[in-house]
A and B are shown apart, each in its own frame.
Chain A
Amino acid sequence: MSVLVYTESEGGKFKKTAFEVASYAKEVANMLSTTVTAVSVNVDDSSELGKYGVDKVLEIKNDKLSNFNAKAYADSLKQAAEKEGAKVVVVSSSADSKFLASMLAVHLNAGYASNVVSLPESASPFTVKRSAFTNKAFNITEITTDIKLIGLSNNAFGLKEASGAAAAEGFEPSLSDEDFTVNVTSVDKATDKVSIADAEVVVSGGRGLKGPENWGMIEELADVLGAATACSKPVSDMGWRPHGEHVGQTGKPVATNLYIAIGISGAIQHLAGINSSKVKVVINNDPEAPFFKAADYGIVGDAFEVVPQLIEKLKEFKANNA
């Protein structure tokens, strides 16, 4: 039995999403009166997972897995799930986890629900709520297979501490050359910047900023908030900002605690992409901009005047609350 959870790491340390999926797995395990087993790959110390309700950690340590490899990781998780007799497997919604999840589903003959936003509505039948139509709606999905695979939306559940200790156990999946047929030749990753997927706060700029040369204040605001930067579709289409920053229906979805939109009018496709963010702020000089209907807080004003003031006020706030 048991609930299996894949706890992602980077550079030997767990990512925040690892603690979120662990917290979620714990609650699912409580519903099913069972325990949680986590799988970690090349993590130095996995004991921290105990704080989030994990009972046991299968620690994989293998140099061949030092770079993420979806096929080999999916195969490893399959073997871990079989060893534990897991009936429910939980993964995050990171790019890597989404990459491996559909492969893992086939390996385990598991029905897979992605973008799940809350705990199962019921355990029998096993139903979960997931977002669809790019956050314009939800659907309640029943997973009808014996083994269930859940992809949890980032920041949908949050962290829940539980008292407990995770017992570490070495695990060596048997991997062959067949697992390494897609070979990573280079990784290009900004290590000094917060990625949109991992960010608690996202600061996003639109056409209202008039040109790429004006992004300095967006980056400064993001810096003060420890935020990731993002942009609207026209901005990425015009090449002002890289594609990877485009959020919206055909770009990245954003499910963050705080989303600040500057000079973005709020086209339906953009709003769909950011809808599951918890608190939305808009700064725009057009009071008729549709974003004001979707936002929690708004300032009708010139971004070039408001943003520098906001940066100052946030710096003061940080100095006083340090």
Chain B
Amino acid sequence: MKILVCISHVPDTTSKINFTEGDTKFDTNGVQFVINPNDEFGLTRAMWFKEKQGASVDVVNVGGVETEPTLRKALAIGADNAIRVNTEATDGFYVSKQLAKIVQDGGYDLVIAGRESIDYNGGMVPGMLATLIGANFVNTCIGLEVEGDTATAIREIDGGKETSTAKLPLVIGGQKGLVEESDLRIPNMRGIMMARKKPLTVVEPVETTPETKVVKFEKPAPKGEVTLVSPDNVGQLVELLHNEAKAI
């Protein structure tokens, strides 16, 4: 089985978010970048398929040269090859078109992407990619097994979960649950050394027009002070929630 894991290069979850150039660009100053958490759960699951079922695992990112350390980290975790599509990831559709080309050229059976990146939260790429290449698709995937050419996937639904089966090729939008948080791997020295020698192929983008563009960023309005209620007067909280906040 040939697996492709799509990796987004995103600000660490603890990052303070700021913008520059008249609020039109994300300010990367002082920001630590990581593998998108939703992708990392998928990458770790892919390692399981590699170790237990002999799958090959490639990783891909659509982005500039600055994203290569993130791809190297994925190689250090255990991916075999990395591919970088050398272009700015402008919108979900544009990225999906780039990935579609990579999947078709590489003949992948299973594509594991995160359900969304934690920066733009678009949640578009897995479903768009699947539709563009005519593959099956399961979103918000929290469990995945493959036997022969058939996958069994568990999807998180509002208030529960749903199990389905589908033939490969399959694209999933993955998230926490594919593996446990405690299963995530920190690259060891050997992995890091090996990652330096693994192939990282740079390919040029296919021509595509994005369908959306970000005009401007805004930060939420600053919040007012908290109203403190004494622990000896809990009834006041009920009153405030009813009369002032109108929340109950």
B-side interface residues toward A, CB under 8 Å?
Answer: 11, 13-14, 17, 19, 37-38, 91-93, 96, 118-128, 130-132, 136-140, 142, 152, 155-167, 175-177, 180-182, 209-220, 223-224, 226-231, 234-235, 237-238, 240-242, 245, 247-248
Contact = CB atoms under 8 A, between A and B. Distances in A.
24 contacts: A99-B127, A106-B96, A111-B93, A112-B92, A132-B119, A133-B120, A134-B118, A138-B219, A144-B212, A187-B157, A187-B160, A188-B160, A188-B163, A189-B161, A198-B159, A225-B248, A244-B156, A293-B226, A297-B237, A299-B231, A302-B231, A306-B234, A309-B234, A317-B242
A297 B226 contact: yes
B126 A102 contact: yes
Contacts of A196: 158-159
Contacts of B118: 133-134, 249-250
Contacts of B226: 282, 292-293, 295-298
A293 B228 CA distance: 11
Contact of B166 (A99, A183, A309): A183
Contacts of A309: 234
Contact of A250 (B163, B176, B213): B176
Contacts of A190: 159-160
A296 B245 contact: yes
Interface in A260-304: 268-269, 272, 275, 278-279, 281-282, 292-302
| Chain B binding surface SS class | mixed
Interface of A: 68, 70-71, 94-96, 98-103, 105-107, 109-115, 127, 129, 131-145, 181-190, 193-198, 201, 225, 233, 237, 243-244, 246, 249-251, 257-258, 268-269, 272, 275, 278-279, 281-282, 292-302, 305-306, 309-310, 313-314, 316-317, 321
A107 B130 CA distance: 12
A300 B164 CA distance: 46
A234 to B, nearest CB: 10
Given A182-B136, A184-B163, A299-B237, 18 more contacts: A99-B139, A103-B130, A106-B127, A106-B132, A111-B93, A136-B17, A136-B219, A138-B218, A140-B216, A141-B215, A185-B164, A188-B161, A249-B37, A257-B247, A278-B247, A296-B224, A296-B227, A298-B228
Contacts of A136: 17, 219-220
Main secondary structure of the interface of A (DSSP, over half): mixed
A250 B142 CA distance: 13
Looking at A132, A257, A314, the one whose CB has the most chain B CB atoms below 10 A away is A132
A112 B231 contact: no
A298 B227 contact: yes
A268 B217 contact: no
A298 to B, nearest CB: 5
B164 to A, nearest CB: 5
7 A-B pairs with the lowest CB-CB distances in the bound complex, closest first:
A102-B127, A301-B231, A195-B159, A189-B160, A111-B211, A197-B158, A106-B131
A321 B160 CA distance: 33
A197 B238 contact: no
Contacts of A233: 181
Contact of A102 (B17, B121, B131, B156): B131
